[in-house]
Amino acid sequence: MLPLRYTFFAALLVLATSFASAQTAKKSGRVSTPAPTGAPLIKADIGAFPDKTERLDLFLLIGQSNMKGRGFMPEKAKNDPRIIMMHLPSDGWFNARHPLHLTGDAKTFKGHDNAGVGSGLMFAEKIAEASEGSRIGLIPAARGGTKIAQWSEKSALYTNAIRKVKLALEQGPAGKTKLRGVLWLQGEGDSNEEKIPLYADALSDLVDRLRADLADPTLPFIAATIGELVEKANSGHKRKINEILLDLPNQKPHTACVDARDVKGHIGDGTHYDTTAMEEIGRRFAKQLLELEKK
């Protein structure tokens, strides 16, 4: 084992390198999220309930990079056994921590991409606070850069998301496990003249297919507006996508939309929300779900 002073200096070197890389990327217009550090993921038993929990509520997280999350991660990982996550590559269950959309190995993080802090964990914390007896299971399935057409029927992303939900429902305690809702944050990939006219129908179709394929005609579906973070050439297109997203509750029952147009924090690229912004959107996702369930 290395002496403590060497371990300390090695950690400092990693942090300095990550900071320098981020600054270089920022100057070039591309900002990279540092890889996760610290302890490996902690395995969770989906079939057992921690203290004071008696049911498992599942949530599917889908969309593109801002659902996946690019915010810089906290130094200390969360470790609340009431909130668990399905590991993206392996389908294994672990105590939830950032990044929820971990593409790398659960022990070493080898193979990690640019996933960082998203809205899902803060959402889960707020739902757990408001839902006595609930254990929260998050099913991350977002993919950066995707267009809504890539979530169409029989697409690889869509079919894999459905598979993951059905697997989780089978793995959870019988009679005490349910899919409580779907969170959707996507639209940047469709914010152009050609695709905007198709977006409303595609979004409606997505909601209908999820409910049909998961055998729940009233499955809550919570969308969020996409970021209007800085003025760009396509800012008007993003506003049009947001008009469609905000209108979703008028078009489909048991749906809601988080209005996050006032949330402006980003990681330096004008596209991806920073950690503070992502956590605020997570709070708003939770508020919308809880209000929807009261109706």
pLDDT in tens, 117-175: 999 999 999 999 999 999 999 999 999 999 999 999 999 999 999 999 999 999 999 99
pLDDT at 20: 39
Nearest-5° Cα angle at 86, 85 to 87:
110
Residue 84, pLDDT above cutoff 80: yes
Share of the chain above pLDDT 90, in %: 82
Give the model's pLDDT for residue 15. Answer: 38
Find out whether 81 and 202 touch, Cβ atoms under 8 Å: no
Whether the CB-CB separation of 246 and 88 falls below 8 Å is answered with no
User: pLDDT tens digits for 183-217?
Assistant: 999 999 999 999 999 999 999 999 999 999 999 99
Q: What average pLDDT does the segment 105-112 reach?
A: 93
pLDDT of residue 22: 40
Spell out the residues 6+ positions from residue 54 whose beta carbon is closer than 8 angstroms to its own. 133, 176
Cβ-contact 91, 167 below 8 angstroms: yes
pLDDT of 23 > 70? The answer is no
Rounded CA gap, 158 and 165, in Å? 11
Q: Please tell me the predicted confidence (pLDDT) of residue 39.
A: 86
Of residues 49 and 76, more confidently modeled? 49
Structure tokens at 236: 């008007």
How big is the CA angle at 220 (ends 162 and 188), to the nearest 5 degrees? 70
23-27, 96-100, 182-186: least confidently modelled range: 23-27
Q: What is the pLDDT of residue 43?
A: 97
Q: How many residues does the chain have?
A: 295
Whether residue 99 is preceded by a cis peptide bond, meaning omega within 30 degrees of 0, is: yes
Q: What pLDDT, on the 0 to 100 scale, is given for residue 138?
A: 98
- Give dist(CA 238, CA 188) in Å, integer: 7
pLDDT score recorded for residue 224 = 98
Chain-wide mean pLDDT for the chain?
A: 90
How far apart (Å, rounded) are the C-alpha atoms in residues 18 and 254?
Answer: 43
Lookup result for tokens 């950032």: 98
Give me the pLDDT at residue 30, please.
59
Which of 203, 187, 212 has its CA nearest to residue 248?
Answer: 203
